[in-house]
Chains A and B, each alone.
Chain A
Amino acid sequence: MADGVDNSEQWREDFPVRWDVDHYLTRRELAKFLTLGSALLVGATGAIAAIGRFGFQEIRARQWIASAAALQPSGSLLFRYPTSDDPCILVRTAAGELKAYSQVCTHLSCAVRHVPDKDEFFCPCHRGFFAVADGRPLAGPPTRRLPRILLEERDGDVYAVGVEV
């Protein structure tokens, strides 16, 4: 042993790669790995864009909800549209206008309730509020408006004819 270093060749056999060479190789390989990850991220973002471009089909099925006379001003009723898994709420405002929205809160999917005296929807889970006039969030955690159900009144009946998301 000289200079504190064992010059017998045994350790060289156990650790045959020099530090600088080791750093060189690991950094080169990491650069390849990260670039592969970069390609995958482009693919994932592109897939999301494709879903956004081709996946949003506007729902346009026609469904009877109720007779228009069944709702008094500031009254509301629940229905399901476009499938039985999609709860919605139909409201007649104090001014007599009919409005309908998905009942699913855009924060974490609790069911919103109508607050008749304020013409607002209230989500009890985290105290979120939405405007009945256009479904936009007024207070609390929600940041996106409620999907609007398009309505049609014909011969005293109210029909849902589409969802505007």
Chain B
Amino acid sequence: METRQQGAVLFSGILVLIGTLVIIQLWLLTAALEALLARDAGVLLPATLSSLVLFLINAGLLWYVVSFDRRVRRDEGRGVE
């Protein structure tokens, strides 16, 4: 049975992962902008696809967070919010 204490620790780890991926996405965005200004169109599509992959990983992690939360609520038999 999952508890909120476990969840808080687990979510911290997941947040570090998501945060790291978001920072990489920010870097990709600035690299894409730089490439656009340099008229270097070859970099733009790979940057977008990489960013999309990182978003999908983030969405997967969030899906895990949400399903964990559902299990906690179900086990407690009530919602906190």
Binding site for B on A (CB under 8 A): 20-21, 23-25, 27-28, 30-32, 34-35, 37-39, 41-42, 44-46, 48-49, 51-53, 56, 144, 165
Contact A27 B44 (CB under 8 A): no
Contact A31 B15 (CB under 8 A): yes
Residues on A with C-beta less than 8 A from B41 are 52-53, 56
Contact B32 A48 (CB under 8 A): yes
Given contacts A24-B8, A25-B81, are A56 and B39 in contact (CB under 8 A)?
Answer: yes
Contact B29 A41 (CB under 8 A): yes
Count of CB-CB pairs between chains A and B under 8 Å: 105
Given contacts A51-B36, A52-B36, are A45 and B28 in contact (CB under 8 A)?
Answer: yes
Question: Which residue of B29, B45, B59 is within 8 Å of A44 (Cβ)?
Answer: B29
Expressed in whole angstroms, the Cα–Cα distance for A49 and B36 within the complex equals: 8
User: What are the nearest 6 A-B pairs in CB distance?
Assistant: A27-B11, A49-B44, A41-B25, A23-B8, A24-B4, A52-B44
Beta-carbon nearest neighbor of B53 in chain A:
A42
Residues on B with C-beta less than 8 A from A23 are 8
Expressed in whole angstroms, the Cα–Cα distance for A31 and B19 within the complex equals: 9
Expressed in whole angstroms, the Cα–Cα distance for A54 and B15 within the complex equals: 36
Expressed in whole angstroms, the Cα–Cα distance for A27 and B66 within the complex equals: 11
Question: Which residue of B12, B25, B32, B33 is within 8 Å of A38 (Cβ)?
Answer: B25
Contact A48 B44 (CB under 8 A): yes
Given contacts A52-B36, A165-B39, are A28 and B47 in contact (CB under 8 A)?
Answer: no
Expressed in whole angstroms, the Cα–Cα distance for A46 and B53 within the complex equals: 13
Residues on B with C-beta less than 8 A from A51 are 36
Residues on A with C-beta less than 8 A from B55 are 35, 38-39, 41-42
Question: Which residue of A25, A27, A38, A144 is within 8 Å of B58 (Cβ)?
Answer: A38
Given contacts A24-B8, A28-B7, A31-B18, are A42 and B44 in contact (CB under 8 A)?
Answer: no
A43 nearest CB across to chain B (Å)? 9
Contact A30 B62 (CB under 8 A): no
Question: Which residue of B4, B21, B58 is within 8 Å of A21 (Cβ)?
Answer: B4
Contact A27 B8 (CB under 8 A): yes
A31 nearest CB across to chain B (Å)? 5
Question: Which residue of A21, A32, A38 is within 8 Å of B54 (Cβ)?
Answer: A38
Residues on B with C-beta less than 8 A from A38 are 18, 21-22, 25, 54-55, 58-59
Beta-carbon nearest neighbor of B14 in chain A:
A31
